[in-house]
Amino acid sequence: MIVYLDADYRCHLQNNADASFLEVETDAFQGFAPEVIESYRFIPQGHSWTNAEGVTFMGEMAAPWVISSRLQQIQWEYDKAMSQQYKTECEELKVQQEDMETALKILLGGESV
């Protein structure tokens, strides 16, 4: 996925108006809710960031810069919705498979409608 990083390496899902954010492709946030991604700081390989206390962090690193129990709730709701979506998709695929198996039997002369 592509994330956009501001000067403090905070993640954004869209570039800013003047397109000055750093565009980075990463798998670090696979399965994360969009709101949760935007609560993270991501330092790509080969980059470094120094915080206000003078501590330097080297990439590759991902860590939340916002700590909130609300973010945990958002991620839980996202995971639940994705699980339901995958379940529905699997059920639809099962019906399609059964339809294809029936059609194949008819074509091979083993069953009639």
pTM above 0.85, yes or no: no
The pLDDT tens digits of the residues spanning 41-58 come to: 999 999 999 999 999 999
The pLDDT tens digits for 96-113 are 999 898 888 888 886 655
In the chain, what are the domain boundaries? 1-67, 68-113
DSSP 9-76: -BEESS--TT--SEEEE-STTTT--HHHHTTEEEE-TT-EEE-TTS-EEESSEEEESS--HHHHHHHH
71-104 per-residue burial string, b: 16 or more CB within 10 A, e: under 16: beebbeebeeeeeeeeeeeeeeeeeeeeeeeeee
| Averaged pLDDT score across all residues of the chain | 91
Q: Report the C-alpha gap between 86 and 73 in whole angstroms.
A: 20
Give the residues across from 61 on adjacent strands: 43
**3, pLDDT greater than 80:** yes
Q: What is the pLDDT of residues 31-44, one digit of tens each?
A: 999 999 999 999 99
